[in-house]
Amino acid sequence: MKFFNIFFVFAVMAAAASCAKVSPVTEGPESSSPEETEPAYLPGEVVLKFDESLSGLLDEAGITDGPATRSGVSTVDELLDVIDGYQLERVFPVSKASEDKTRAAGLHLWYVVRFSEDENVEDVVKKLSALGEVQTAAPVLTIKKAYDGKVIPFTSPLMTRLGENDEDLLKWQWNLQNNGPADYNLNSDVSSETVDGYPFGGASAKDKFIQGNDIGWTAARNICKGDPSIIVAVLDEGVCLSHPDLVNSLWTNEGEIEYSHEDNDGNGYAGDIHGYDFLNGRGEITWDAVGDTGHGTHCAGVIAATNGNGGVSSIAGPDNNALETTGVRIMSCQIFSGNKASNTVSLARAIKYATDNGAVVLQCSFGYTSGAANPYEYGTGYRDADEWEYASPLEKAAMDYFIHNAGSENGPVKGGIPVFASGNEYAPMAGFPGAYDGCISVAAVAGDFTPSTYTNYGTYTKISAPGGDQDYYYDYKETNGDRGAVGCILSTVPEHVSASGYGYMEGTSMACPHVSGVVALGLSYAAQQHRHFSADEFIDLLLSKESVTPLTNEVLSGDKFYYKWQVDVEPLIRATRMTLSSYRNNMGSGVVNAAKFLNNIQNAGVEMMFPNIYINVGSSVTVNPRAYLDGTSFQVTVNDPSVATVGAAGASEGTATVSTDGNLVFFGLKSGSTTATIGSQTFAITVRSGESGSDWL
């Protein structure tokens, strides 16, 4: 199965030229016809951004905490009075911990306006856009999955139960550890088949898996097994929270209460234990609605399934022998559910939620159709960032917020790293939002490192990764009831999709989590090595020639043949030729290689130092010293204990020795400043009224 392709029906807004919007047709290869899709935008809703000068008035009107019937801005209210039954609601709910950042980015000025569905959306956008108090107005675009969601179940008799290690399934995960063709039950006679006079595949079956053509997983896992401080937000269908290979990999919001209808931790969302369902507005994540495919669960498994428990292996998941101290954590940001269309408000909220709750990687196996795709087959996509922002300014604002505000100056990365699928339209340009600056757009390759037949490539493509290709591997011996399955990517899926809990999928959708997983593993290693990067520096290192496996001219030579299905009924298929030289220098910097990347992290970035501490009088700040220092214990001395003290577990002494299992707690006693030492490092402690936070740079 290929990636999520955001689908819009073509619509030209009858609005003023400065605010006109064109929603591209993004009909993917497996999408339904336009007549069967949702409307291009939600009826009875628009989003607007107020001018910054109105921030105080909006606060005074009291509409920051929930829906309201008046904005407090007279000209806006006068206009909206003529719209039947209108209501305003801030797009991004108030979060106590992140409200300052929200306001600095101007996201507190974005509102949803709801009105009678009898009103014309284009007319409302045009009228609101004409007001000086409104900076921009736009429809709430609908977002629809554009694929059939086919999963090839894994039905091996080996899957009777989870065992003690992953070796039984690892042989099917060529993407992680490619041992060549011997593992894959080749039918060597099939390679002589011809279709339309062409030898299918352009190479014998045994040449389609090449030993060592993987992501360098084995060597990378010997270097680092992931770190639970690194959080990857999966924006997708809901992740199956009960899957035995994922239960130990879930991010947990410790300040929230499961199934609660109250926002117990003050982050703006109720009951968000492992993430949030932004489409239905609830803390309960679902993965088994009619139409759910297991897509989000599959991506999560590639990144962080538990290693060594008898299931599948993953890139950055926990080790079964050290579950609490290894492995990155998965946050499920559900933006799709069943057959229900999503929308840009849900997507924007998911991106900001991930930022504010600690995610540093966005896993996004979705995107708009490439602007270079065949418009007769796939519709029209965005050709550049200006067109994308023009049609969806709210989405861009949320993405900018993540890129600039995720992470921490006191952690391995400052800024967020969004990873996107490049698209499956066979087009020489990646789709947006992944094509946007600051994002990583991922193309797909097969087990011989030839480009997957469907992959987008060329302009805006940053890197490649295994995505599988059932059409290319069709000449393999029938495996698990579906020929070509072994050429796809094996990972976790919910039981309603595959009784074993595992299945094969294909697409740039599957290439994308390989890069997300390697990024997360790299950040884990940076944290353990006490190295700090900006997001741009980290991305540059990932994409450098020294961190990837190059796609050589030898690989990208000659022709490649594959079966392309013309209709859904066998045997109406045709052999299709790819000219591989067209992909030279067009698949990004190369194929992601986890081992090379980790080896390059050790001496890159800057060394993290113990941070300066800022405390309110009468308050405390907790710091984990293991984030900055190696060792088995730490002695801390505060030079002026009348200003501040330090201890562990509530102690209040000037000198404290803390084991690596504990945190340091600094207590502010009176306004002033002092210095302190930990090991050979000196840092400052400042105590003031109304000050908080810490900064080591």
**pLDDT recorded at residue 205:** 53
Token pair recorded at residue 472: 């290319």
Q: What is the pLDDT of residue 239?
A: 98
Note whether 363 and 442 are within 8 A (CB): no
Provide the pLDDT for residue 3.
Answer: 53
How far is Cα 648 from Cα 656, in angstroms, rounded to an integer? 7
pLDDT at 191: 42
User: Closest Cα partner for 505 from 538, 452, 467, 562?
Assistant: 467
Given this model, what pLDDT does residue 572 score?
Answer: 53
The predicted-structure confidence for 621-663, as pLDDT tens digits, reads as follows 888 888 898 877 888 999 999 999 988 654 444 566 666 557 8
The whole-number pLDDT of residue 462 equals 98
Structure tokens at 158: 């080996």
The verdict on pTM exceeding 0.75 is yes
pLDDT of 354: 98
Quick check: helix, strand or coil at residue 593?
coil
Residue-wise DSSP of 305-372: PPBTSSS---SSPPBTTBTTTSS-EEEEEEEEBTTB-EEHHHHHHHHHHHHHTT--EEEE-EEEPBTT
> Which mean pLDDT values do the consecutive 10-residue runs of the chain (697 residues) have?
46 24 30 47 94 91 81 82 83 95 97 92 93 94 76 70 66 91 53 41 64 96 97 98 98 93 94 97 96 96 96 97 96 95 95 98 94 88 93 96 96 97 95 96 97 96 96 70 82 95 95 98 97 98 98 90 62 73 97 98 93 92 88 86 80 57 86 93 90 39
DSSP 130: T
- What is the predicted pLDDT for the residue at 476? 67
pLDDT of residue 401: 98
pLDDT digits (tens, 9 = 90+) for 352-408: 999 999 999 999 999 988 999 999 888 888 999 999 999 999 999 999 999 999 999
- The residues, any chain, with a CB within 8 Å of residue 457's CB and separated by 6 or more, are 422, 427, 428, 430, 443, 451, 583, 586, 587
